[in-house]
Amino acid sequence: MSSPKITWQAYDRVPQKRSPDWYWAVGIIALSIMVTALLLNNILFAILVVLSTVVLFLYTLKKPELVTYELTNRGLWINKDFSPFTTFESFFVTEEESAKLIIKSKGLIIPFSIIPIETLDSQTVREFLQDYLPEVELHEPVSKRIMEFTLHHHRHLLCQWQAAHLWILNLALLSCV
């Protein structure tokens, strides 16, 4: 029989230091998109771009939060939020370079919860959850993996893409004038 609960802590995201160049690049791209939206008389989209950029900047300035996870015989606690096992379909424990617990939800809005379990023995987590949920091979969404690959491992590719995107956008704007 499994232990009554498993508790651990992990950061909600990987901490990253952004250079001033990153903020300038994102700001210039957002400004270019906003100007294009205004030239096309799409004021609502221009406002959405400005608000999204401000929210992105504020989010990047926020420090990663240390989250407490707890698996009990009733469900999963994430800080003070509880999700019973009845709200989940299945789980999978990855054993790649950084172990993660992937839980598939029955809900449509957030179909997967990806929880780092680097500080735990993955086999212990697997054995605990097998009493409550079926284990089905699951993978992180491709969009999340692409974002992590691009942002975490190849920041210079992102900057090159942003520069190329800005150059193309400026050419498009010049051809419209």
44-94 pLDDT tens trace: 999 999 999 998 888 888 888 888 999 999 999 989 889 898 999 888 888
- Give the pair of three-digit tokens for residue 134: 């079926």
Domain 1-138: state its class.
Answer: mainly beta
82-112 pLDDT tens trace: 989 899 988 888 877 778 888 888 877 777 7
Where do the domains of the chain lie? 1-138
pTM over 0.85: no
79 Rama sector, left if φ>0, alpha if ψ -120 to 50, beta otherwise: left
Q: What pLDDT was estimated at residue 32?
A: 94
Give the pairing type, strands 5-11 and 66-72. Answer: antiparallel
Q: What pLDDT was estimated at residue 162?
A: 46
Whole-angstrom distance, CA of residue 150 vs CA of residue 156: 9
- Give the pair of three-digit tokens for residue 165: 């995107």
104-160 pLDDT tens trace: 888 777 777 888 888 888 888 888 988 898 888 877 666 555 555 545 544 444 444
Phi and psi torsions of 161, nearest 5°: -65, -40
26-45 pLDDT tens trace: 899 999 999 999 999 999 99
Band (pLDDT 50/70/90 cuts) for residue 175 is low
DSSP annotation string for 39-86: HTT-HHHHHHHHHHHHHHHHHHHSPPPEEEEEEESSEEEETTEEEEGG
Q: What pLDDT was estimated at residue 97?
A: 72
